[in-house]
Amino acid sequence: MRSKIRTVQPKPLFLNNENVCIATDFYQLTMAAGYFDCKRNHTSTFELFVRSLPEHRSYLITAGLEQAIHYLKNLKFTGMYLKYLKNLPIFKNVSRGFFDYLRNLRFSGDLYAVPEGTVVFANEPILRVTAPMIEAQIIETYLLSVINYQTLVATKASRVVHAAKGKDVIDFGTRRAHGPQAGVLAARACFIGGCVGTSNVLAAYELGIPAVGTMAHSWVMAYDDEYESYKDFRKIFPHDTVLLIDTYDTVIGSRLATKIGKKLKGIRLDSGNITLLSKRVRKILDDAGLKHAKIVASGDLNEYKISEMLNKGAPVDSFGVGTEMVTSKDAPALGGIYKLVEQEKEGRLIPKMKFSEDKATYPAKKQVYRIYDNNGRFKKDIVGLIDEKFNTEGLLLRVIKNGKVLYKTPTIQEIQKVAKRNISLLPDRFKRLDCKASYPVTVSGRLRRIRDKTKRSLGTS
């Protein structure tokens, strides 16, 4: 029987600059072929936004634009991918000119975007793309997949960091992220949301952020004697001796750790009742004259648990947060969508909208205008047309013009600063962890009138 099983060479399923061209939903390509053959490749505008915020969230922190820009700069269809598409039966009636068009396709349109690290709310465009319909359509899936995930995680991280009240939060989530690349993207988004470092070495290398981590239980278990394992670790890492003390018994582990002496930089607790244990261990450390030694907590932490621990006075100095942060576990998907809002036909701009049940959209190119109170804090947002004036700058900035990137991508440290400043300007009631507050986002009168007019004019024959 065995010999009949067909076998393959194991594949890593990595993305790269070549195969991203087909990292899209199949219907984007069938529609693209249709637009081509039906001569419907009009200049079109799509907007990416979130219809409603995930549970418990009153705001989002935008993230993922850098990866969107890289994709648009590098998008092209090459040999074997074109050949694969050409040979699919569904494309049998499609003119061969379509595949030549695809071969020459580069992103030639405009991209406007809210910079990464910005606080935004439901129904506010985060990206706006204006391009020939085929280009604008094909890019939907990839744009959504980079913006949705990083925005989801940057938002979650900002909640965790807020709960930690100034204590350090470190991303420990790679092993539970949704695959190897998700671990790297999560590390980036967590840093934007305010984390101070990541356990993911590749992310640290690529992004220039701190790689953090010391020992696992396996280090301790590799020795017959727990204290021997601590001594050896101190010998090799004399300035970074943070010891994991819960492999066998946390309290005994903490006493052994004190025997390390002044070189002990800290201990990590990864199980049990961390509030109680941290108090007990703090006293053991203090009594041993190790007031400088830090307590790191980890183990299925989230913003709710951290908040409760700190409210109960847990003397924890930093938090390693994994699974819950990188999967945004209490709300593991962001429902960002990308909708056609306008097309140019024979020199005229035609507003577009859909009005499916509960899924209606606003037509026309939009801008988000943020209004500040007298203290410079966020007061309300107005979603309006791009040429409206509300005595404030629009949140969407020009990023790409006619295919050329004009935007200077900030470093991740700069983006983290933007996010920190945004969060500081957001009134406290929107930062509460357990309940959703509705930030005032209004629609301008002009936009409402265009919507009503479009709704009347559109519809089925």
Task: Pick out residues in 164-193 that bind its own copies (CB under 8 A).
Answer: 172, 174-186, 188
- Binders of its own copies in range 274-303 (CB under 8 A): none
Q: How far is CA 193 from CA 56, 93, 196, in A?
A: 17, 49, 9
Residue 454 is inside which H or E element, if any? helix 445-457
Q: Does 321 bind its own copies (CB under 8 A)?
A: no
Contact by Cβ (8 Å): 268, 317 = no
What is the rounded CA–CA span in Å between residue 414 and residue 147?
18
Residue 365 CB, shortest distance to its own copies, in Å, is 15
What is the rounded CA–CA span in Å between residue 102 and residue 139?
13
Q: Decide: helix, strand or coil at residue 74.
A: helix
Q: Using the rule CB under 8 A, give the single segment among 122-130, 157-165, 208-216, 421-429 that binds its own copies.
A: 208-216
Residue 429 CB, shortest distance to its own copies, in Å, is 28
Question: Strands 404-405 and 110-113: what pairing?
Answer: unpaired
Q: Does 420 bind its own copies (CB under 8 A)?
A: no
Indicate the residue among 350 and 425 with the shorter CB distance to its own copies.
Answer: 350
Residue 432 CB, shortest distance to its own copies, in Å, is 23
Q: Does 27 bind its own copies (CB under 8 A)?
A: yes
Q: Does 17 bind its own copies (CB under 8 A)?
A: yes
Choose among 175, 184, 178: nearest CA to 209.
184
Query: Amino acid letter at 297?
Result: A
Furthest CA-CA distance within the chain = 83
Residue 88 CB, shortest distance to its own copies, in Å, is 7
- DSSP structure class, residue 411: P
Interface residue with its own copies among 105, 196, 272, 430 (CB under 8 A) is: 272
Strand partners, 383: 368, 443
Q: Does 19 bind its own copies (CB under 8 A)?
A: yes
Q: Does 133 bind its own copies (CB under 8 A)?
A: yes
Q: Does 334 bind its own copies (CB under 8 A)?
A: yes
Indicate the residue among 124 and 324 with the shorter CB distance to its own copies.
Answer: 324
Residue 13 CB, shortest distance to its own copies, in Å, is 5
Interface residue with its own copies among 357, 387, 428, 434 (CB under 8 A) is: 357
Contact by Cβ (8 Å): 275, 299 = no
Q: Does 116 bind its own copies (CB under 8 A)?
A: no
What is the rounded CA–CA span in Å between residue 200 and residue 410?
21
What is the rounded CA–CA span in Å between residue 305 and residue 213?
21
Contact by Cβ (8 Å): 65, 48 = no
The angle subtended at Cα 290 by Cα 286 and Cα 294, nearest 5°, is 95
Q: Does 97 bind its own copies (CB under 8 A)?
A: no
Interface residue with its own copies among 100, 106, 165, 252 (CB under 8 A) is: 252
Q: Does 353 bind its own copies (CB under 8 A)?
A: yes
Q: Does 225 bind its own copies (CB under 8 A)?
A: yes
Residue 428 CB, shortest distance to its own copies, in Å, is 27
Burial of 21 (0-12, 13-18, 19+ CB in 10 A): buried
Q: Does 354 bind its own copies (CB under 8 A)?
A: yes
Q: Does 454 bind its own copies (CB under 8 A)?
A: no
Q: Does 8 bind its own copies (CB under 8 A)?
A: yes
Choose among 119, 126, 124: nearest CA to 193.
119
Interface residue with its own copies among 59, 107, 112, 233 (CB under 8 A) is: 233
- Binders of its own copies in range 31-50 (CB under 8 A): 31, 33-35, 37-38, 40, 42, 44, 46
Interface residue with its own copies among 218, 374, 375, 391 (CB under 8 A) is: 218
Residue 389 CB, shortest distance to its own copies, in Å, is 22
Would you give the distance in Å from CA 343 to the centre of its chain?
30
Interface residue with its own copies among 102, 122, 204, 419 (CB under 8 A) is: 204
Contact by Cβ (8 Å): 448, 222 = no
Q: What is the DSSP string of 353-374?
A: ----TT-----S-EEEEEEE-T
The angle subtended at Cα 328 by Cα 377 and Cα 336, nearest 5°, is 70
Strand partners, 266: 242, 294
Q: Using the rule CB under 8 A, give the single segment among 303-311, 346-354, 367-375, 382-390 that binds its own copies.
A: 346-354
Indicate the residue among 187 and 383 with the shorter CB distance to its own copies.
Answer: 187
Q: Using the rule CB under 8 A, give the single segment among 155-163, 222-230, 278-286, 371-379 that binds its own copies.
A: 222-230
- Binders of its own copies in range 63-82 (CB under 8 A): 66-67, 69-71, 73-74, 81
